[in-house]
Amino acid sequence: MVDVEYLKNFTKYDGRYRGTSPPAAIDYFWEVMRELSEEQKMKYLQWVNGRAKLPNNMSDISYKHTITWMGGGDGVLPQAHVCYFQIDLPEYTTKEILKQRLVLAIEYCGEIDTDNSASGVRMTEYINTADDEIVLRQQVSQGAEEDYDY
């Protein structure tokens, strides 16, 4: 079981999220984390840390869980840096948007640090179309682009 409060106690904040009054996106993030299914929480940990479970003693890990401010707003997905147990989190305007983007990232972006994978495909864009259909634009390393509807 993923203890969200345990994770929160070992989280640091960088960029605009650092300070005594962080933007609402931080509150949204923790609310969403509490609402996720156990499977989704484990996928989040796998996505951001490379492991699906938290250690019993957080001092056993090299880096604290870090949430770093990222530009781009509502139109981009968060990014994970597995080697540093870090998520770059855009300052989403609503909890619903944050949840949608976070779940999309943890479900469909299994690549480390959004670098090229062995297949040569990486996430480059997130587009919310007029009819609310989610489109992932992926760039193939040979330069071609393909759209995938989910």
Can you give the CATH number for the domain in which 34 is found? Answer: 3.30.2410.10
Q: Is 91:23 a contact under the CB 8 Å cutoff?
A: yes
pLDDT in tens, 75-126: 999 999 999 999 999 999 999 999 999 999 999 876 554 444 433 334 444 4
Q: Is the dihedral of CA 80, 111, 42, 101 positive or negative?
A: positive
- Does residue 120 sit within a domain? no
The verdict on residue 132 lying in a domain is no
Question: Which pair of structure tokens corresponds to residue 27?
Answer: 């509150």
Any domain includes 69: yes
Query: Looking at the 3D structure of the chain, how many domains does it have?
Result: 1
DSSP class of residue 3 equals -
Maximum distance among all Cα pairs of the chain, rounded to whole angstroms:
46
Please indicate, yes or no, if residue 97 is contained in any of the structural domains: yes
Looking up tokens 């994770």 gives 7
List, by residue number, the catalytic residues: 83
Within-domain flag for 60: yes
Matching residue, tokens 């996928």: 43
Write out the residue range of the structural domain in which residue 9 sits.
4-114
Model's pTM, two decimal places?
0.75
pLDDT digits (tens, 9 = 90+) for 5-41: 999 999 999 999 998 888 999 999 999 999 999 999 9
Q: Which amino acid, one-letter code, is at 129?
A: T
Of 108, 87, 91, the closest CA to residue 28 belongs to 91
